Amino acid sequence: MRFSTSRLTPPYRLINFRPLEDLLSAQFLFDLYDQFDPRVNVFRFRNVVGVYRDACMYTYAPESDWQYLIERISRGVESFAFPGRVERLEQLFVNKKERLLQLMAKYDAVEAQFEQQSNAVLCDWLVELYYQALNEIFVMNLVPLEVGYYQRLLSNFREEGRSERDLLLFIDHHARWSGMTTVAVADRRRLIELARRERSGALDPADLDAAIRLIQDHSVGYGALPRTRQSIEMEYHGYLGMQEDGVRALMSESKPESEVPAGHRSLSPFTQQLLSLYTQIGALRDRNKALLGCTVRRRQQLIKMIADRTQVPLAELRLYLLDEIIELLMSGRTIDTTDRAQCFVLSSSLVAEIRDRAENTAAVVSVTKSTPHALRGISASPGAIEANARVVNQSESVASFLTGEILVASGTDFHLLDAMLRAAAVVTVEGGLLSHASVVCRERGIPCIIGVTDALLRIKTGDRLRVDATEGAITLLSSPSTDGSLSNTQSLGVIGKKAEMLRRVEAAGLRVSPFLVLTEEFFHQWLERSAAGMDAFLRRSSAQRRDCIQSLSTVWAGQYLQELATRFGDSKLAVRSSAHYEDGLHHSYAGMFASMTFVPAHGEAIAKAVKNCWAALFTKELDEYRKIDTSQAAMDWYLPLMIQEMVPAVVSGVLFTRDPLTQEERVVVEISSGGCFEITDGTSCDERLTWSSDTPQIQSCLLDAGKLTQLQSAVRILTSQVGPSLDIEWSFDCEARLVIHQVRPITEMRSSHANR
């Protein structure tokens, strides 16, 4: 028997995704969604189906039920949005939360005595932790209410002549103006404040330890694996190394002066009231969900205790249902859980074991139309980015996530926060506009698209994507199995901006100088194989990190780089930075990073050059420059480095597709009879050419007609396929072939030399 949502009638949609540590947590979540009592909470579903697969829970509800609830709330929003509604809800929740807190205090008081208690007592505690938490949380679930409010808000905005992007802007602005923050933001601020105290010498280590445990409790949620201590400490040490200006920008401490974003007119009174309710309810639900994690952690502790007492391996006990655990304690009866590890389905009429792996656990209902090379979803946080995708569904996968990749998942929660903080963009199958992914991405300025129902079926790890979250569109640019442009790169992960631009040049059909890229995995392995160690390195100050890098042994790195260098033969090499934030439209970072040229193609020599470039990341000059670029306030612990062949050239140059000083629509070329480096460091310029679309004929002393034709053709190709405003380093080799060495956007108002 195989499970597929396409076999469910009527069509079902994915309403929730959670990574969960055990089947008991999946049963809890199913019971939460499957309860329907109009006297308690009318915003619920019936005929829910849950699929527990690969330590993840996928919850489905009939599409018709979902649409009915949303439309009912949207149509009747005037009756739901009465004054004082949030206060009444919060007062109701106070009583519920108080009972949960009392339960946890009672548990903590007797936990030390559990070893001497009978199996019957353990059963009682397990049942109480399960059902009391279930009953209290049941009333607090407000997701359909949020979605209904959003639909009505969107309708109101459109009637007032505004767009959905305007609505997202207002939601983010109002959340900051009103001081409503999510648990994730509160946890981040908690760590930042502790980092401030440590910098001033006033930190008690016990306070940091307590904060880490609290954040882990929050990350557990409905039963996920807790966020690792290492990932929280890495985030903390990142804040510890930040300048105060960057900290303020990250925390968005400055409250907006007005309730209305700059450049926007005021909302109608009713829309303004509804926006306030929407923001408050989202924050309220988020805090309640975080409280649940505290009860789940205690339940998981009890499961471990039961595993020790019954001698049932913990991995097997995590695949038992509640009644089966009780039966185990009371009679010693065990079950075979072999097939459950593959897939387990829960429904209101049965609990069915599935012996074969589920083929499709993505929702079959798509609210937007996708094409073979494009997918559609709902914009949750605007922005556009091109990067490699990484599909992440379980907590274990977070460790393999690399900075700058696009995170693709069924949904996100605290378990993926570490990956989200390093993601270039986020794409999820499920989620609402106040879901974890939506809120965190808007707060951090990360492009995010939700509701991409076929994302997991169409996107694979390593796919090259363009995510346009402003339009809700995802374009599949290439796949590792078919992308020939990867043939000359050794990309261990994120390759950075310079390398990515060269890939695009090569994909456009032009010749580039051969290169490879050293990325996060290389530097991580180098540290782990050294006496320094990764953890100790991250705890060091900027100056200490620089000294640590220079003291690293080059034995392992030299051997590794020697194998890579064989592709370059006897050529000389250049080692240069490829950070994702340099060469930007507003901040070039020119001169901030080291470049090593004429490096012999020998492992030991390359390793020394790599150390010099890596250490240059930790300089006072770069720290000062980062104060200007507040969008990149957080300090990286590494940067991607390109190792590039220095192609012997007969003539070289730098070309701007637009005048960098006047911004006029004309090409500016500086030419040298030597190599590119004489041009870029300002020591040589033998000829300067300019031309525009109406220039009748171009004359050059250093470039014959054939070379000029190649150069003009390259300009047309690159401006149409890469970008209209480019700074290009090029040369012609001994066979009169044009070779591109570097392409980058023209930084605003920079001359050809001043910012190099």
Residue given tokens 């996530």 in the structure block: 401
pLDDT digits (tens, 9 = 90+) for 388-398: 888 886 544 56
Q: How confident is the model at residue 711 (pLDDT cuts 50, 70, 90)?
A: very high
Query: Do 355 and 341 meet the contact criterion of CB atoms below 8 Å apart?
Result: no
* CA atoms of 293 and 594, how far apart (whole Å): 46
The continuous run of DSSP H or E covering 320 comes out as none
* CA atoms of 674 and 651, how far apart (whole Å): 6
- The whole-number pLDDT of residue 225 equals 65
Q: How confident is the model at residue 307 (pLDDT cuts 50, 70, 90)?
A: very high
CB-based contacts of 151, cutoff 8 Å, min separation 6: 70, 71, 73, 74
Our CA angle for 218, 223, 226, nearest 5°, is 50
Query: DSSP class of residue 71?
Result: H
- Return the closest-CA partner of residue 734 out of 700, 707, 705: 707
**pLDDT average, residue stretch 586-603:** 79
Pick 448 or 588 by higher pLDDT.
Answer: 448
- Asked which of 134-138, 527-531, 688-692, 716-720 is least confident by mean pLDDT, the reply is 134-138
Q: Report whether pLDDT(312) > 80.
A: yes
- The whole-number pLDDT of residue 719 equals 84
User: CB count, 10 Å around CB of 456?
Assistant: 22
Query: DSSP class of residue 632?
Result: G
pLDDT digits (tens, 9 = 90+) for 454-473: 788 788 877 889 999 888 89
Our CA angle for 560, 566, 571, nearest 5°, is 120
Please, what is the average pLDDT of the chain?
Answer: 76
pLDDT digits (tens, 9 = 90+) for 105-115: 888 888 888 88
pTM above 0.95, yes or no: no
Query: DSSP class of residue 673?
Result: S
Provide the total of helices (H) and of strands (E) in the chain, helices listed first: 26, 22
- Return the closest-CA partner of residue 582 out of 625, 551, 619, 615: 625
E-state strands within 4-97: 12-19, 49-53, 56-62
Pick 385 or 356 by higher pLDDT.
Answer: 385
- The whole-number pLDDT of residue 398 equals 64
The share of the chain scoring above pLDDT 90, in percent, equals 13
pLDDT digits (tens, 9 = 90+) for 189-238: 888 889 888 888 899 999 999 998 888 877 776 666 677 787 788 778 77
pLDDT digits (tens, 9 = 90+) for 665-697: 889 999 988 665 544 555 567 888 998 877 767
- Asked which of 341-355, 396-410, 578-592 is least confident by mean pLDDT, the reply is 341-355
pLDDT digits (tens, 9 = 90+) for 32-75: 777 655 554 455 666 788 888 877 788 888 877 777 776 776 66
Angle, helix 85-110 to helix 269-310, in steps of 10 degrees: 20
- The whole-number pLDDT of residue 590 equals 64
Pick 513 or 362 by higher pLDDT.
Answer: 513
CB-based contacts of 163, cutoff 8 Å, min separation 6: 157
* CA atoms of 447 and 694, how far apart (whole Å): 40
For the record, the structure tokens of 17 come out as 């995704």
